[in-house]
Structure 1
């Protein structure tokens, strides 16, 4: 299993910010945006690849490109960074009106990740268990999908979650306007791990991935 790499506090520019938002003022925040996914949707229409899996891979690609979104805490509350973070995501059982949570190893090659994650969804789509493949390793981040409704704001209220530094994402239903397709995305962040600058950069880099979907075979 991967082990987190400790951050050198002596040279880390965010040391004071980290300590303030972890100890003095424990703080999380949420950010909801609309991503233009017109080209992405067009590419998926001509591909056998699954939209949800592609969305998860895109999120995982930017998560794994930025250390602030792969942070965790050691047992002594010191900051560290996972070498890789794997997506944990939900799948809906329409008959029972319940969902299950599974995880898949992230792979920078989209086709490799897609085939593994798609098989996982097929295998557990009728599951009656909350965690049919177990809770997953500690180096995961969470993705949920609400394809039944669009939204302009979404916020999670998590009790006693001050040690959870990994981001949490919620995807909404596509909206169309002026010939473009938009995807609502809510990003939940621990302020000890990332500031508004980092979240805005994440959104902009994710937008670039969707704008150039040449990675969708």
Structure 2
């Protein structure tokens, strides 16, 4: 069951930070980094598995490790943390030059996640509606891809989005530098949910995960 558990404000170390950045100085921040994905790209060549799904799974794995990236606001206006977050990701329709947004339940086993997510990319590649699966669960976070361009900065301006505490990720086109392959990764974060320390840790853990892609060769159990 996907449940959002209220945070105990009396013992929460970030209570003052949350209240400051949500009520007194509401703000989000964006950061873009180049992640070394050389080893993951090499492993994907021999795996027969889809690059985009591997990227999405790796992000979802790190997001689900840390409560600050699974935060929401209850109907009473209080902060809470989802048990699990599922990734929602974009699927491009080249004929219409539009995209659809789909989601797949997170599974800590990459092989099982890939087997569930890969058919979604094929099924909805020609989708004509924005959300072909219907309403998405509230405990989803967004991943989008811009495989056509390399970027050094990316940010979103969200009108009235001060209660959107979940991270938003944007992936760019691979590029080569000094014989290594890099992925531009942009992260949009609400300051009430996470500070720079937390986002830096997420980036470090994502970099480590794609740098040791033994999970790509796992088999469904």
Shared fold (TM-score, shorter chain, > 0.5):
yes
1:7-86 superposed matches below 5 A: 7-86=7-86
CA shift at 1:39, angstroms?
A: 0.2
Counterpart Cα distance in 1 of 2:28 and 2:177 = 32
- 2:109 is the counterpart of 1:116: no
Partner-residue secondary structure (3-state), 1:19? helix
TM-score, normalised with respect to structure 1: 0.99
Q: Which runs of 5+ in 2 are unaligned?
A: none
2:149: which partner in 1?
Answer: 149
CA shift at 1:159, angstroms?
A: 0.2
Partner-residue secondary structure (3-state), 1:216? helix
Counterpart Cα distance in 2 of 1:210 and 1:172 = 15
Counterpart Cα distance in 2 of 1:26 and 1:120 = 36
- 2:206 is the counterpart of 1:212: no
Partner-residue secondary structure (3-state), 2:80? strand
Aligned residues: 217
Question: Residues 48-100 of structure 1, C-alpha deviation per residue, up to 9 Å, x if partnerless?
Answer: 11000000000000000010000001112211000000000000001110000
CA shift at 1:137, angstroms?
A: 0.3
Counterpart Cα distance in 2 of 1:134 and 1:144 = 18
Counterpart Cα distance in 2 of 1:94 and 1:8 = 47
Counterpart Cα distance in 2 of 1:71 and 1:89 = 19
TM-score, normalised with respect to structure 2: 0.97
Q: Which runs of 5+ in 1 are unaligned?
A: none
2:160: which partner in 1?
Answer: 160
Counterpart Cα distance in 1 of 2:213 and 2:89 = 22
CA shift at 1:135, angstroms?
A: 2.8
2:92: which partner in 1?
Answer: 92
Partner-residue secondary structure (3-state), 2:29? strand
